[in-house]
Amino acid sequence: MPTSSYGLIATFETAPQIYQAAQRVRDAGYKNWDCITPFPVHGLDGAMGLGRSQVPRISLVGGIIGFITGMTMIYWTGAVDYELIVGGKPYFSPMFAFPISYELTILFTAFATIGGMFFLNGLPMHYHPVLKYEHIKRGMDDTFFIVIEARDPRFNLANTKALLEQAGGKAITELEA
């Protein structure tokens, strides 16, 4: 395996072909690979063996932190830092703290969602070796690709190329790192 190799890319012409090829690559035990499609292909995540995204969990944690921050901030300012009775109201009441807590829940959820998406997707990524492939723009128009990375433990140039050929891949090309 040359160190200057990023991996292999194979071309597929239809959505059913890439779906079946993704199942073959998944069943062969590869972990570091991806599909490039011009439009969402229903069920492709399952064919690739991908689970649910972790972003909703990160968003939930952000929302809970935002709500607790709002309630704590109003409690601190009204009942601890500056105790002032206005119009017979108590020092702290969740009813009066709810609007700011609600707004902070939304704000922290948005920040956590965006931050989680960036972190889990490895962004910002200003360059990717797949962009060197001369026909990659067709992946936004009418062609499907599977990219298997050389860093995958099961990657062997000859065996991986044979797998992609058996799966129906055309124009199998080695990518530069």
Q: Is the pLDDT of residue 44 over 60?
A: yes
- Predicted local confidence at residue 88, as pLDDT: 86
**% of the chain with per-residue pLDDT over 70:** 98
User: Residue 125 has what pLDDT?
Assistant: 85
* pLDDT tens digit sequence for 97-120: 999 999 999 999 999 999 999 999
- Condensed to tens digits (0 to 9), the pLDDT of residues 21-33 reads 999 999 999 999 9
Say what the pLDDT of residue 127 is: 87
Q: Which residue has the tokens 């012409």?
A: 13
- In Å, the largest CA–CA distance within the chain is 80
Task: Look at residue 3 in the predicted model and tell me its pLDDT.
Answer: 57
pLDDT for 139 equals 87
Q: Supply the Cα-derived Rg of the chain in whole angstroms.
A: 25
Please give the Cα distance from 96 to 19 (Å, whole number).
54
Average pLDDT, the chain: 93
Among the residues of 14-125, which ranges form H helices?
Answer: 15-27, 44-48, 55-75, 94-120
Which domains can be identified in the chain, with CATH numbers?
5-52+127-176 (3.30.70), 55-120 (no CATH)
pTM: 0.78
Which pLDDT belongs to residue 8?
A: 95
| Per-residue pLDDT, 1 | 46
pLDDT digits (tens, 9 = 90+) for 48-105: 999 999 999 999 999 999 999 999 999 999 999 999 888 888 999 999 899 999 999 9
Q: Rounded CA gap, 110 and 29, in Å?
A: 36
